[in-house]
Amino acid sequence: MHAEITKPKLRGLIRLGLHLEAQAGMSEAERRRQHRRRVETLIFLCWALIAAKCFVVVWLVNHYNMPFNPMWVVAPTVSFAFVATAAYYWLRD
């Protein structure tokens, strides 16, 4: 029951963060601009999560003296994220 109460609050927070206001009366150019802003905000948030993951991975490998280089985890993550981001910017409107 507690999860049902917090769900609308979380949904509202996500809608507020991604600027999901009503689109009634908007022109097609305004809708595209709004959609692009939402997607770019999501891309920015994902890059922030990737940066945090990379920091945590490097710290954990160094702290616990793991027998491998942390770049084995960091490099593919950043590479694929870069390819996805570049593809978005290359293929957008």
Global model pTM greater than 0.75: no
Residue 23 is predicted with a pLDDT of 63
Query: What are the distances in angstroms from CA 5 to CA 12, 16, 32?
Result: 12, 18, 33
Residue 52 is predicted with a pLDDT of 98
Encoding tokens for residue 9? 């609050």
Query: Which sign, positive or negative, has the C-alpha torsion 27, 29, 30, 35?
Result: positive
What is the Cα–Cα distance from 87 to 29, expressed in whole angstroms? 22
- Across the chain, which has 93 residues, the per-10-residue mean pLDDT values are 63 69 74 88 96 97 95 97 96 79
